[in-house]
């Protein structure tokens, strides 16, 4: 999986969590919370979805890496680089 693949996965998870938000306008380097209406339950959803889709466990102390889209991509890409995108 490339960085762009990972980015698209995060965006699709966010689109499920916040269907009323304009996901396409998200800036990669600004905190997600400042751009769309996300609360701590929504971040939990991201973690649960990553576990469900990819069997990846994000420990609570690492949640801070998920604060921005760029942060998500750089944190998750090394973990997903050997995975194939599900068809």
Partner 1 sequence: MSKPSRDWLKGVLSAYDTIVIGSGLAGMTSANLLAKMGHKVLLAEHHYNMGGLATWFKRKGGHIMDISLHGFPCGMIKTLRKYWNQDISKRVIQLKNIRFDNPQFSINTTFDKIDFTHILRERFGILKEVIDEFFVTARAMNFYDDLVMTTRDLFEKFFPGRTDVWRFLMEPITYANGSTLDDPALTYGIVFSNFMDKGVFTYQGGTDHLIKEMKKELLRNGVDIRTHCMVEKIYVEDKTVQGVRINGQDIVCKSVLSNSNLLTTIEQLTGEEHFDPEFIKEVKKVRLNNSSCQVYMGIKRGETVPHVGDLLFSSVADEYCTDKILSKDVTSRTFSFYYPEIRPGTNRYSIVSSTNARYQDWANLSEPQYKKDKHDLEQSTLDALEKYVPDIRRKVDHVEASTPKTFKRYTLHPSGTSFGTKFEGLKISRDLPKQINGLFHAGSVGIIMSGWLGAANYGVIVANETDKFLRQLSPSLVTASA
The Cβ of residue 59 has, within 10 Å, a number of other Cβ atoms equal to 7
* Near partner 1 by CB under 8 A: residue from 26, 47, 67, 70: 47
Q: Minimum distance from CB of 79 to partner 1 (Å)?
A: 5
- Which residue stretch of 5-13, 24-32, 53-61 sits at the interface with partner 1 (rule: CB under 8 A)? 53-61
Does residue 15 touch partner 1 according to CB under 8 A?
no
Q: Minimum distance from CB of 65 to partner 1 (Å)?
A: 6
Residue 56 near residue 76, CB atoms below 8 Å? yes
Q: Distance between CA atoms of 16 and 57, rounded to whole angstroms?
A: 20
Q: Minimum distance from CB of 28 to partner 1 (Å)?
A: 18
Phi first, then psi: give them for residue 51, nearest 5 degrees.
-70, -45
């Amino acid at each position: 999986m490339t960085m762009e693949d990972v980015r698209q996965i995060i965006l699709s998870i966010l689109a499920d969590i916040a269907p009323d938000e304009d996901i396409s306008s998200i800036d990669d380097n600004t905190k997600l919370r400042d751009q769309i209406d996300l609360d701590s339950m929504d971040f939990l959803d991201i973690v649960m979805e990553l576990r469900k889709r990819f069997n990846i466990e994000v420990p609570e102390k690492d949640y801070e890496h998920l604060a921005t889209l760029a942060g998500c991509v750089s944190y998750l890409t090394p973990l997903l680089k050997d995975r194939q995108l599900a068809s």
